[in-house]
Each structure stands twice: as structure tokens, then as C-alpha cells.
Amino acid sequence: MRRKALVLVAAALCVQAAFAGRIKTVLSSSQDLWRGAPAGTRVSEDGVITTGPAFERIADIPGTPLCALQLNGATIVGTGPSGDLLKVEGPKVKILHHFAEPLITSLAMAPGGNVLVGTSGPARIYEVNPASGEAKLAAEIPAQYLWAIANEGGGLVAASGVPGKLWRIAGGRAPEQVADFNAAHARCLLQEGGTLWIGTASPAALYSMAGEGTPRLVATLPQEEVAGLALDGKTIIVAANEKTESASSAPGKEQQAAAQASSDSKGAAIYRLERQAVLVPVRSLDSTILSTTFGPGGAFAGTKNGALVEIAGAKVSLVSRWPKNPVSALVAGTSQPEAMTSSPGALYQPSAGSPQRPAYYVSPVIDASTPSRPGVLSGFGGGGFSLDIRAGNSPEPDAFWSAFVPAGDSGNLPPSRYFQWRAAIGAPGAFLNGTAFSYRPVNRPPVLEDARVGPPGEISVKNQSQLGERLVQEIHEKDRPFPSLAMSKPSDSPPQTYYLYGFRMISWKASDPDGDDVRVDVKLRPEGSTGWITLADSVADPFYVFETRALPDGRYQIELSANDGLSNPEGDALTTVRILPLFEVDNTPPAVVEKGRDKGFLVMEASDNTAVEAARFSVDGKPWEPVEMKGLIGAKQATLQVPLPPAGRHFLAIEVVDPYGNSAVKGFFVP
């Protein structure tokens, strides 16, 4: 068993000291490590990073590589959407033949050294001389797609799509249907000794056929498509995709090629076909499998997200990745396969001789969700490795990211939202099987919204008890200018509006983008003053109610200061301040003066500092009745005409109220 050592890469002490608050730590997992990019390294099934193969870019491929084979040291490549057959020798790329069909979807060797070329749109088979590029039509298949060709004895078999059938071509005769799989596509073929294996799509199934017999159903799969078959020694590897957008649904040439090389998928699964025809799951992948091939020590699969995966027995390893470049074609090599990518098209070959050391592994991007200061990056492993880190503010590294710096210098990186680490494996025996990265989000100030001073006396709360025992005794409903006593509401009721004479309610919405605990300080100052009076500090509720009856008449301002000091160390806390518009305080009741009696009316004049809001009268203690006011609505003065009672001795009461709940009552005996 390997002895595991813990290698800690400390950040600068000044950065570490600032981490007294909300430190967040990201631990790598095998799933995370499989999303990274090895370069001369490999990632095992359980996420251990060791030295591995390296690949070199040999040539640029015009178009999208869809299939390939090796011939006398050269690589023959079929492409789309131009329908070009290419011959690649080192960095040189030559067009052997241009076909009228848009897609070259399958290649095989013909007896005598010529190349069999299968095209799609429509499905045809050509025999091409690899020296001259001369092409001769060998067969026309009544189908839209020609997915695979295999040699069978003295003839050929071909797998078609739309419809999904198996065909036999022999002796220059017209293609003979061997089997109709009742599927959209017969997607792939594998010749193993005297047995031919066939994988289908829509639905996904695996068939076997011995010699010139009838195909036999071996297994059905829960996925949508059997995308590829390969040999791992004497064991068959089955690659299946969850959901694909095949070329059959793409209307144009470019869309067809793109669909073939970059299928849309929820993921894929790799199986091993064991004895008694049992499919044993090996691993699930998070991307579509586009290509498969065999190797001396196992099988290989290329995926849409640029991964090259090696399957050796029950072990699966990630051996390379070309981010954003789907691995659309593979060709078996002496140790590692040749890989062809699309978007853009390129041919990669295993590096000759021993891989250059150190070898590297680049992690997937870590999203801190908010600008953060990097801290300690720790590596778990042994044998000699080092860690670097870089940072940026775009989801993918670009020219505006920082360069990689040693992890010990992470404190010099600017606060960033995204981070990425790189491991250098310095020797064949070195390994890394996990990392821990700590960071601290940069504190952001609280947010204050919808801050306001409510109308005079209006209090909105869920329950009267929120106002305290003293205030509950004075609370009333504001259902009209002359309030009546309110009834308490249940605590689970929505906010209710009450009327509390002589009080004002300040309300706000306080939040914090970092989820910090926010408290609010409330201050008051008279108009024209520079000094603030603290009404309350560290208020947790989204409101504050204060009494105005003791304040002199005049106009005032409120200052709200929201701070996150309870969630941040001293020096890092932030405050957001809002100064609210002026509001008026009026504690003086209206004045009511008798002006005389005229034609059965008692004429009164009411005046107030702010406005005369309403008036009412009562005769001999009977229910109050409204009084019509003469004058401009909301004016500081109003004339009242109170009807005199009928003949006899009576007591007449008149009440006038202003907008602040101040009232004046005047009584008369008449006549």
C-alpha cells in the first residue's frame, strides 16, 4: 500500500490572519478530478493522478473528422460536411478524393490494400486507391446513413441508419438485406473471430451473428444508442449514449456533421460483456461517447467534452482532454491511440519516447460564487509533486486571468471569483489523490431597500405584541379620522395596519449578498441640524417605532445604517447608510374659534399648523355626525357650519382633528 504524505502549501501569513471569519474549503473528489485536463498524466477511476501518456498535435484537419484508419504509416480520415477523404502523413494533409455525399461515416480495408469508404446522405460504399485517390462505386445501400463496414469472408457487411438494417455485399451483386432490427440505426460493427457484433440505436441493443447465420439478440440497453464496440483483450466493451441528436434529424450538411461529431447527450455508460452474455456496468460518463477503438492493453473512448478514456479490465482512466474539442475519431496505435478532434479539426499522436517531465494536470475551474481571497492549497499524495494556482473573473480561463503562481504565493493573487490549480508530477512514482483549497469571500456591503417613514400614527405589524406592552394599550385601527379601539390579530396573520397616536414607524428591507447577519442603527436630526440623535442601535427587525409626542413641532430626517459586523471580523465589516427624506412632526392640536350664528347654524373657524383634516359634532352626547367644511381641501384653515339643535336647552360638542391625530374639542350650551 502506498504511504500517503500530506503536503501543505501555506499562503502568506497576512492572508491567513484575515481568515478569522467565513473560510470556505473545497475538497476535490474523483468526479471533480475527472473533469480536469491531464497532460502527460492520467486520472484513475478513484481520482488518483499519476504519470501517463502525452500527446502532440501533428496536423490540422479541415472539416470534422468522423472516422479514420491507419495505412502504411499514414492516417486516412473521413470528414464532413465537405465529404473529403484525407491522407495525413506527419503535418502534411492531402485530399485523396472529394465525394458528392456530405459525410464520410465509415472506413475499412478492402482485400488488396484499397480503402472502403462509406458515405451518408445517401448511403454508398466506394473503393478508393490510397495512392491515386481514384474512387469506384462498390454498392448503393437503400438507406440514408452508412455507419459501419466489416469484412466477412469473401464479402462485406454494412450497417445502415434510417432504416437500421444489416446488409451483405458480395461478388458485385446488389446489397442483400441480412436483418432488419426495427431500429432507427444499426450504429456499429465489431468483428471478433468468426462472430460479428452489431450495436443499434433507437432502441439500443446488442446483437451477435456467427458466420452467415441470423443475428441473435444478446441484450437490450436502457440508453438510447450503442455508440461503439471495442475489444479489451477478449472482452467486448460496449459504449452507450443516453440521448443523442443523430445526423438523421439534422436538415443541412453542416448540421449533419455537427450532430455526428457533437451529439447532444445527458451522458454515457461503458459496459463489459461478460460470459453468458451479461452486460456489467464499468463506469458512467457525463458526456456523449463519439468514438471508440482498441489498444494492446485495453480499449479507448473519445467524448464530446474532449476526454480520452482508457478501459483496461475493470479499471477506467482519463488519459487526456482537449477542452471544447470533441474527440470525434480514434485510431488504434502501438500503445495509445491517435486522436482526432473537431472544432477545430486536429490530429494528435502519442509523444515519441518517454514523456517529458514534469507532467501536468490542470483542475476544473473552481467557482467561489463571489469575489474571494485565496488561502491555503493543500495536496494529498507522495513521491514528489508541486501545486500552482491562478485566478480570474470569467468562467473559463482567458487572457484576463492571472498567470499560474506557486501555491505559496496565492496571497499575492487579486480577489477573484474563479480559481484553477495545476499539479506538476515530477517523477514516475509520484502521485496526487486529492486537494483542499481554502478561500474567504470578500465581504460585500449590506443592501437597504424600500426604506421609508410611515404616515403619522400608522403602524404595520403582524401582532400588536411586536410593539411592546406599553404601546399595545394605545393602539387603534385607523378606519376613519376618529379611530376606535382595535382588536388584536393572530400572530400568523399577514401584517395589519393599526393607528397609534403620537408615534411613527420607520420600515426597511435589509439584506446581505453574502448571507451575513445585518443589524440597523436608527438616528434622527431636526431640519438644518448637523448632529444626529441615536434612537436605536443594532435593530434586527425590519422596522422601528418611536414616539413623536415629545418632539418639538417641525421637520426631521432619519438616517439608517445597516452593518454586517456580527458576521465579519473587525476591520472587514461594512456599513450601508441611507438618509430618508424630511418628514413633519406636529403635536399641536387645531384651534377652534366661534364666529357667530347664522340661519340655524353655528359658524366656527378651525385652523392648524399643518391642515384641518376633518370635523364632527354631537348633540347631548348622541353619536357623532360629520360636519361639512368650507374651504380648500387640506388647507390650514376651514370654516365649519354646525347645524343648531331644535328649540330647547341642549349641549353641543364640536371636535376638529389634524392629519397627525391631534384633536381639539369645544363645547357649547344652546341656546
Position 258 pLDDT exceeds 70: no
Greater confidence, 350 or 497? 350
Share of the chain above pLDDT 90, in %: 70
Partners of residue 562 on adjacent β-strands: 520, 576
pLDDT digits (tens, 9 = 90+) for 376-416: 999 999 988 999 999 999 999 999 999 999 999 999 999 99
| Alpha-carbon distances of 633 from 630, 638, 639, rounded to whole Å | 9, 8, 11
pLDDT at residue 493, as a whole number: 62
pLDDT digits (tens, 9 = 90+) for 341-377: 998 999 999 987 655 567 999 999 999 999 999 999 9
Residue 42's nearest CA partner among 427, 356, 431, 394 is 431
pLDDT at residue 259, as a whole number: 46
Position 131 pLDDT exceeds 80: yes
The strand pair at 327-331 and 484-485 is best described as unpaired
How many other CB atoms are there within 10 angstroms of residue 417's CB atom? 19
pLDDT at residue 637, as a whole number: 95
Question: Residue 583 is which amino acid?
Answer: F
How far apart, in whole angstroms, are the C-alpha atoms of residue 202 and residue 224? 6
How many other CB atoms are there within 10 angstroms of residue 369's CB atom? 11
What number is the average pLDDT over the span 257-273? 68
Cell numbers at residue 62, please? 479541415
Question: Residue 232 is which amino acid?
Answer: D
Q: Of the ranges 467-471, 539-543, 653-657, which one carries the lowest mean pLDDT score? A: 467-471
Residue whose entry in the numeric block shows the C-alpha cell 348622541:
622
pLDDT digits (tens, 9 = 90+) for 91-105: 999 999 999 999 999
CB 189 within 8 A of CB 108: no
Cell numbers at residue 427, please? 517523477
- Which region, left, alpha or beta, applies to residue 468 given φ > 0 means left and ψ of -120 to 50 means alpha? left
pLDDT at residue 586, as a whole number: 94
Position 486 pLDDT exceeds 80: no
pLDDT at residue 4, as a whole number: 36
pLDDT digits (tens, 9 = 90+) for 515-527: 899 999 999 999 9
What number is the average pLDDT over the span 255-280? 70
pLDDT range class, residue 263, cuts 50, 70, 90: very low
Position 482 pLDDT exceeds 70: no
pLDDT at residue 489, as a whole number: 52
Position 487 pLDDT exceeds 60: no
Contacts for 123 with CB less than 8 Å, ≥ 6 apart? 140, 141, 142, 143, 144, 145, 146, 158, 160, 161
Cell numbers at residue 464, please? 400588536
Greater confidence, 243 or 437? 437
pLDDT at residue 249, as a whole number: 40
pLDDT range class, residue 260, cuts 50, 70, 90: very low
Residues 285-309: b if buried by 16+ CB within 10 A, e if exposed = bebbbbbbbbbeebbbbbbbbbbbb
CB 162 within 8 A of CB 183: no
Q: Of the ranges 7-16, 192-201, 270-279, which one carries the lowest mean pLDDT score? A: 7-16
Cα 97–chain centre separation: 45
Position 159 pLDDT exceeds 70: yes
pTM for the complete prediction?
Answer: 0.74
Position 106 pLDDT exceeds 80: yes
pLDDT at residue 385, as a whole number: 93
What number is the average pLDDT over the span 611-625? 93
Position 579 pLDDT exceeds 90: yes
Residues 472-483: b if buried by 16+ CB within 10 A, e if exposed = bebbbebeebeb
pLDDT at residue 333, as a whole number: 84
How many other CB atoms are there within 10 angstroms of residue 123's CB atom? 27
What number is the average pLDDT over the span 478-494? 53
Mean pLDDT of the chain: 87
Position 284 pLDDT exceeds 50: yes
Greater confidence, 390 or 248? 390
Partners of residue 70 on adjacent β-strands: 75
How far apart, in whole angstroms, are the C-alpha atoms of residue 274 and residue 282? 11
Cα 133–chain centre separation: 49
Residue 148's nearest CA partner among 264, 234, 227, 80 is 227
Residues in the chain: 671
CB 246 within 8 A of CB 257: no
Cα 208–chain centre separation: 43
Greater confidence, 490 or 376? 376
How many other CB atoms are there within 10 angstroms of residue 442's CB atom? 15
How many other CB atoms are there within 10 angstroms of residue 650's CB atom? 14
Q: Of the ranges 47-56, 480-489, 604-613, which one carries the lowest mean pLDDT score? A: 480-489
How far apart, in whole angstroms, are the C-alpha atoms of residue 83 and residue 119? 8
CB 638 within 8 A of CB 606: yes
pLDDT at residue 492, as a whole number: 59
What number is the average pLDDT over the span 200-223? 94
Share of the chain above pLDDT 70, in %: 88
What number is the average pLDDT over the span 439-444? 92
Position 445 pLDDT exceeds 70: yes
pLDDT digits (tens, 9 = 90+) for 12-64: 333 333 333 578 999 999 889 999 999 999 999 999 999 999 999 999 999 99
The three-class DSSP label of residue 462 is: coil
What number is the average pLDDT over the span 595-607? 90
Contacts for 636 with CB less than 8 Å, ≥ 6 apart? 607, 608, 609, 610, 611, 612
| Alpha-carbon distances of 91 from 58, 62, 94, 347, 349, rounded to whole Å | 5, 13, 10, 9, 11
Alpha helices (runs of H) in 108-204, residue ranges in sequence order: none
Say what the alpha-carbon torsion angle 488, 494, 500, 506 is, to the nearest 10 degrees.
150
